[in-house]
């Protein structure tokens, strides 16, 4: 009797692009993919941070390089993605949050968040998919979304709106791109300690709210996302597309 073989989580011979890969969750994704054997291109706006992280990864023997890019500059971003071909994995971790009560939302804050989290994310995924399809490569596109794509939260109407929209276009793109072997998914983390979330963690009332909602009794770490992105990028997730991998400690379970 022939036993089934578990698909590999290894990524040797694969090339990955990670947007927002110079810090926080994006850096964790870049390291995770490189540790699995992928050659990783870190994309971010600040060249100094890119250089630091690439050097640190190379010091560990990981395959890494950098590219300066702004996800909101849609045309230039798409041109850069085309120049980075070919690649097999695309992870977008770029994000922006401007939290205010819904009644206090200003149009400029709304536009800034949507420009990064929705418009930028949409056209970044489009550019990545176009490159994969043009090269005839089955690939994996992963957008870092949020548990706030599933529920609501205090002072987060704009942020929640942007992330709910990400889940919508992810499902639609998965339907369209499936025929080309391109998978499109999201990861939805709970509150992860990063520079982006320090505003929240500096408020004791918000920390109490978070700790009460996370059923496993602790806030998230960057390391909690690393296995998730390895999985979605690998052959182990070969039949996974159009879905959200929720890493929230049970927040959305109730």
Q: Which of 90, 159, 177, 191 does the annotation list as catalytic?
A: 159
Looking up tokens 């540790």 gives: 35
For the segment 171-228, what is each residue's pLDDT rounded down to a tens digit?
999 999 999 999 999 999 999 988 777 777 888 888 888 889 999 988 899 999 999 9
What whole-number distance in Å separates Cα of residue 97 and Cα of residue 187?
17
- Tell me how many degrees the CA angle 19-201-208 measures, rounded to the nearest 5: 130
122 as an active site residue: the answer is no
Q: Which residues fall within 8 angstroms of residue 134, CB to CB, at 6 or more apart?
A: 85
Span 150-166, pLDDT tens digits = 999 989 999 999 999 99
Domain spans of the chain?
15-243
Is the peptide bond between 86 and the residue preceding it cis, with omega within 30 degrees of 0? Answer: yes
Taken in order 246, 46, 116, 214, the sign of the CA dihedral is positive
Q: pTM of the entire structure?
A: 0.96
CATH topology for the 15-243 domain: Rossmann fold (3.40.50)
């Amino acid at each position: 009797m022939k036993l089934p073989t578990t698909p590999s989580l290894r990524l040797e011979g694969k090339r990955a692009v990670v947007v927002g890969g110079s810090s926080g969750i994006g850096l964790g994704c870049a390291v995770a993919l490189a540790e699995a054997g992928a050659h990783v291109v870190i994309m971010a706006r600040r060249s100094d941070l890119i250089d630091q992280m690439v050097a640190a990864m190379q010091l560990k023997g990981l395959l890494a390089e950098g590219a300066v890019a702004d996800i909101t500059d849609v045309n230039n971003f798409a041109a850069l993605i085309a120049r980075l071909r070919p690649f097999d994995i695309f992870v977008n971790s770029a994000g922006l949050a401007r939290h205010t009560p819904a009644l206090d939302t200003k149009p400029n804050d709304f536009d800034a968040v949507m420009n990064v989290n929705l418009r930028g994310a949409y056209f970044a995924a489009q550019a990545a998919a176009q490159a994969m399809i043009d090269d005839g490569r089955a690939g994996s596109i992963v957008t870092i979304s949020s548990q706030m794509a599933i529920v609501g939260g205090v002072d987060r109407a704009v942020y929640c709106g942007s992330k709910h929209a990400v889940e919508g276009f992810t499902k639609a793109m998965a339907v369209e791109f499936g025929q080309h072997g391109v998978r499109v998914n999201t990861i939805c983390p709970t509150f992860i300690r990063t520079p982006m979330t320090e505003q929240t963690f500096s408020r004791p009332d918000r920390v109490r709210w978070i700790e009460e909602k996370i059923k496993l009794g602790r806030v998230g770490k960057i390391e909690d996302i690393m296995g998730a992105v390895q999985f979605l990028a690998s052959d182990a997730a070969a039949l996974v597309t159009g879905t959200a991998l929720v890493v929230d400690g049970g927040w959305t379970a109730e």
